[in-house]
Amino acid sequence: MLHGPASQPHIEIAAPIARELDAVLEVFDEELDSDLPFVNRLVGQVRNYRGKLLRPKLLLLSGRATGELIRDHVVLAAVVEMVHMATLVHDDVLDEADMRRRHDTVNRLVGNEAAVMLGDFLISHAYHLCSSLSSTFASRRIAAVTNTVCEGELLQIENRGNILLSEETYFEIIRRKTAALTAVCCEMGARASDADDETLEALTRYGNDIGIAFQIVDDLLDLTANENETGKSVGRDAEMGKATLPIIRYLASASPSDREALIDVLNNPSPDTRAAVRAILAGTDAIDQAFDAAGAYITSAVAAIAPLPESDAKASLTAAAEFVLARRQ
């Protein structure tokens, strides 16, 4: 069972950017509006994936913490949410997932072909929207980070079934597939506020570290939580032969016979694989080690933004980091 940090005074993370966040959702919906009812129905299904809107919030808060928010912030926040949504739609195809945010996945409703095309539709609209900005820098940066996310997914696919995945490769996968986008959210938010290079570097580090922690926790939830808590399909990592951090840490320290027992379970996937893996890890510190690793990245993220002037936005960035450890979905 995951445990979050000690209780902190409640902070409404989105409070400093509430008006702009509403504008982001308006831009998102306007950009994706189609004259085809089927496309609009699928886009409507994707709206159910919005969840906490972490990435738009990080972009807007980074902009607010370093200056005034302008229209470019709103557009960029809608862009990164489209890119993120596209990755979720494609991930559900790759993972053969049936549920996300307590709703049927697109691939379950209409099949893999339509889901893949919808992901492409989201990506193409993200680029179209980004091209409306006066500067081409953001378009190039978003395109580059999308490439990095795809590389991370391809690296993960290459290593699917590699039970002996190294910790170095695991972190390279999650740096590319998850942290790269959260890092660019913070970078773009601060850059649109004309932040100096030192501040840009600090917020990019914050975004990278919060992204790595987010993915570690996500992997832990896939192993330890239930679908009622997460609102999405769980156990798919173990069933599809993905070695995540608790498994990597366990295999690094287990006895030869215990290693072989876990490897045998993972090499013979079944609907019971997740429960079997949990049973093997129970009584060890592998899950706690992985959670502590996520906590270390959160500590690093908060430290990175310590030099920023005190503000509601900075407080929200700190609260967002702490939320990553406490989340259950």
Output the pLDDT for position 47: 85
CA distances from 88 to 24, 47, 106, 119, 262 (A): 19, 12, 10, 8, 29
Q: What is the pTM of this model?
A: 0.91
Of 51 and 223, the structure prediction assigns the larger pLDDT to 223
**Interacting residues of 38 by C-beta distance below 8 A, sequence separation 6+:** none
Mean pLDDT of 281-310: 95
- With beta carbons less than 8 A apart as the criterion, state whether 236 and 230 touch: no
CA distances from 81 to 50, 85, 267 (A): 8, 6, 36
- Write out pLDDT tens, residues 120-164: 999 999 999 999 998 889 999 999 999 999 999 999 999 988 989
User: How far is 116 from 107, CA to CA, in rounded Å?
Assistant: 8
User: How far is 76 from 54, CA to CA, in rounded Å?
Assistant: 14
- Write out pLDDT tens, residues 244-255: 999 999 999 999
- With beta carbons less than 8 A apart as the criterion, state whether 204 and 187 touch: yes
Is the pLDDT reported for residue 1 higher than 60? no
| Greatest C-alpha distance within the chain | 61
Q: Which amino acid is at 303?
A: A
- Write out pLDDT tens, residues 70-87: 999 999 999 999 999 999
**Within 10 Å of residue 157's Cβ, how many Cβ atoms?**
12
> Please, what is the average pLDDT of the chain?
90
Lowest pLDDT segment from 146-155, 192-201, 203-212, 216-225: 216-225
| Number of residues in the chain | 329
User: How far is 310 from 287, CA to CA, in rounded Å?
Assistant: 35
Is the pLDDT reported for residue 197 higher than 50? yes
Please report, in angstroms and rounded to a whole number, the separation of the first and last CA atoms in the chain.
13
Residue reference for tokens 């609907």: 271
Is the pLDDT reported for residue 16 higher than 80? yes
Phi, psi of 99, deg, nearest 5: -140, 140
Domains of the chain: 15-326 (1.10.600.10)
Output the pLDDT for position 195: 97
User: How far is 308 from 196, CA to CA, in rounded Å?
Assistant: 12
**Within 10 Å of residue 41's Cβ, how many Cβ atoms?**
12
